[in-house]
């Protein structure tokens, strides 16, 4: 792209980086707008990324191409290959690793103590939320099947909508691996249609509930579990700990790398219709578990593995921004093409119903405090952006412990639910 008469030329990866930076700047500006005290926050970046993808992605692809020479027999020929989609996927995955690893480190010091106290509650809530989403998906199937020509394609679409409503990439991947090849596109389309409200709906929910309940945040923060100061001081007793660097970027990278390796382990599932299907923690689950362990111990011997708090805060926000941009631009490219109002409404239902049922169950049955409740909801909905918003609303990182405790349960449940829905309906 040549600007100002050719004086300024921005092409290829440079052009993509320029677009992403503009999306971030405009998105944060949108996120600052408050209407009756409610704002989009970092989710504003996602809205702008989605709009950008829908309106301008077709102009990005020609800018990110590479000439590839292929040989057929004795003849060679050149063709242009676009790397825009792959570049966005890298941005999305890098952001996810940065965010989830930061959350694990932040939650680590309080996580296991909190988990021990509320273990059954977190398991129950994670299962209840996913079960509510799956049953809503089944209800949508019976409501809409009479209007669909291909019921199998409709099921694939609905399961894609379920994964998008819960912003669950593992469920999305599992669904694509389970359906027949000709229905993979239906899963992808459904996921993309529901993803928008899946992000924004939970972000708004965690902001609106405290306002509707007129919650006193000072009181709610006090109800969260804190590790006592004496325990923290004991952890810091060893005189001189070895540090890779003063910011803690080295141990952060180590935890993230080990998390990626853990998430890459695939466990075969057996049973009727599950042949060839595998389950894995994925990069998200692997990075979360390893960073929780690192954050809990803080050191191994005299080797300090706990990054500086400011480093974690910067990585958490940067990661969330990159994740939303990568997912938003890619999703926006297909959103308009495949959008149907009824599919969007199915997605709204699969987002709202599980949240409401989960919140009521946690409040009146499990008796969780408001912030523990909402933190668990973000984990149960596997909503990375909503956790970032809740941390800002609550004014404390401690809510990440509830997210981290519920998330793995919900992760496993939603992957299995997606596969079983395809096999049963």
Sign of the alpha-carbon torsion through 336, 334, 354, 208? negative
For residue 3, the SS3 value is strand
* Number of Cα atoms under 13 Å in the Cβ half of residue 119: 4
Q: Give strand pairing partners of 304.
A: 299
Tens-binned pLDDT, residue by residue, of the chain (425 aa): 655 555 555 566 778 888 899 999 999 999 888 887 777 777 788 889 888 888 888 777 776 666 666 665 566 666 666 677 788 888 988 988 998 899 889 878 877 777 777 778 888 999 999 999 999 999 999 999 888 878 888 998 999 999 989 987 667 766 776 778 788 778 877 887 888 788 889 989 999 999 999 989 889 888 875 543 444 444 544 568 888 888 999 999 999 999 999 988 888 766 555 555 666 777 877 888 899 899 999 999 989 999 998 999 899 889 989 988 887 887 777 666 667 889 999 999 999 999 999 999 999 999 999 999 999 999 999 887 788 889 888 888 888 888 888 887 887 788 788 878 987 87
- Check if the beta carbon of residue 291 is closer than 8 Å to that of residue 101: yes
Structure tokens given for 87:
């570049």
CA dist., res. 392 & res. 118, Å (int): 23
Structure tokens given for 58:
């077709």
CA dist., res. 372 & res. 368, Å (int): 6
- H or E, element range at 9: strand 8-9
C-beta neighbour count of 236 within 10 angstroms: 12
Structure tokens given for 80:
């242009």
């Amino acid at each position: 792209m040549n600007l100002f008469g050719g004086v300024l030329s921005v092409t290829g990866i440079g052009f993509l980086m320029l677009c992403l930076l503009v999306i971030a700047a405009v998105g944060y500006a949108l996120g600052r707008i408050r209407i009756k005290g409610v704002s989009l926050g970092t989710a504003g970046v996602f809205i702008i990324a989605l709009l950008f993808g829908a309106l301008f992605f077709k102009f990005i692809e020609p800018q990110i191409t590479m000439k590839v020479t292929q040989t057929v027999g004795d003849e060679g020929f050149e063709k242009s290959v676009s790397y825009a989609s792959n570049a966005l996927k890298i941005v999305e995955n890098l952001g996810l690793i940065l965010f989830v690893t930061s959350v694990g480190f932040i939650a680590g010091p309080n996580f296991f103590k909190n988990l021990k106290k509320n273990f059954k509650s977190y398991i129950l809530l994670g299962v209840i939320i996913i079960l509510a989403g799956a049953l809503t998906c089944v209800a949508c199937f019976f409501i809409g099947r009479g209007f669909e020509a291909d019921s199998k394609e409709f099921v694939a679409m609905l399961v894609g909508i379920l994964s998008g409503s819960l912003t669950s990439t593992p469920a999305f991947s599992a669904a694509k691996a389970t359906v027949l090849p000709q229905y993979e596109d239906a899963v992808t389309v459904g996921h993309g249609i529901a993803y928008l409200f899946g992000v924004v709906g939970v972000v708004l929910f965690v902001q609106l509930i405290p306002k509707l309940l007129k919650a006193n945040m000072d009181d709610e923060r006090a109800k969260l579990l804190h590790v006592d100061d004496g325990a923290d001081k004991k952890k810091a007793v060893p005189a001189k700990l070895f540090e890779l660097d003063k910011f803690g970027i080295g141990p952060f990278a180590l935890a993230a790398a080990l998390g990626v390796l853990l998430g890459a382990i695939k466990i075969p599932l057996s049973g009727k219709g599950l042949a060839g299907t595998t389950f894995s923690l994925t990069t998200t689950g692997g990075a979360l578990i390893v960073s929780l362990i690192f954050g809990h111990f803080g050191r191994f011997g005299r080797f300090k593995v706990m990054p500086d708090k400011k480093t974690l805060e910067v990585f958490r926000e940067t990661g969330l921004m990159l994740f939303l941009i990568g997912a938003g631009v890619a999703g926006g490219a297909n959103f308009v093409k495949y959008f149907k109002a009824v599919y969007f409404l199915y997605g709204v239902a699969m987002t709202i119903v599980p949240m409401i049922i989960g919140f009521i169950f946690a409040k009146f049955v499990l008796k969780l405090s408001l912030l523990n409740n909402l933190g668990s909801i973000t984990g149960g909905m596997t909503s990375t952006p909503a956790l970032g918003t809740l941390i800002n609303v609550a004014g404390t990182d401690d809510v990440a412990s509830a997210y981290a405790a519920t998330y793995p349960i919900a992760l496993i449940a939603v992957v299995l639910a997606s596969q079983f829905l395809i096999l049963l309906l």
